[in-house]
Amino acid sequence: SRWTLFHFPSQFVNVYLYHFFAGRGVFSLAQFSKRDFVVEYRGDRIDFYEAQRRRRLYHSLFTFFLILSLLLVNDDHKHPNCRMKMIEVDGRPHLCLFAIEDIKEGDEITYDYGGGDWPWRKKVYKVFFNEKI
């Protein structure tokens, strides 16, 4: 689909809109064992400096959230179930998510985006009332 930046083996994972705050998420349609390939990232591959430039540019803007929501696989820095690894196939790099624990059918696929200053990690809100806790 035009929204998908990840290549999903469609019989194994699917994308759902599950919460107005978190947006879309990727959920398993099958079981994965630890070390199994889950999905391949198909978005822009950028270097560290471009990543920092984009973070500064979008950090305080709502646009930042829109850009990140397009990634579809959500950040979980406390209990991710996947890890991003670069593998080379025919001399070309591929960014792939691999399971770091067993994943059950229906589980959300998550990984740690890295870094520590993502806006959603700093503030906790009661979603229904939009109040800071």
Over residues 37-47, the pLDDT tens digits come to 888 877 666 67
Largest CA distance in the chain: 51
Cβ atoms 89, 95 nearer than 8 A: no
Of 12, 55, 1, 62, residue with least CA distance to 37: 12
pLDDT surpasses 50 at 66:
no
The four Cα atoms 117, 51, 14, 85 give a dihedral, to 10 degrees, of -100
pLDDT, the chain, mean: 71
Q: Considering the domain 6-132, what is its CATH architecture?
A: Beta Complex (2.170)
Name, in order, each residue with C-beta under 8 angstroms of 13's C-beta and a sequence gap of 6 or more.
26, 27, 28, 29, 30, 38, 39, 109
Q: Residue 100's pLDDT is what?
A: 97
pTM of the model: 0.62
What pLDDT is attached to residue 49? Answer: 78
In the predicted model, is pLDDT for residue 79 greater than 80? Answer: yes
Residue of higher predicted confidence among 43 and 64: 43
- Highest average pLDDT, of 1-10, 27-36, 112-121, comes from 27-36
Instruction: Report residue 19 as tokens.
Output: 């919460």
Write out pLDDT tens, residues 8-31.
555 566 655 555 555 677 888 888
* pLDDT for residue 67: 40
Helical axes 62-69 vs 48-58, angle rounded to 10°: 130
Question: Which residue, chain included where needed, has tokens 């939009």?
Answer: 130
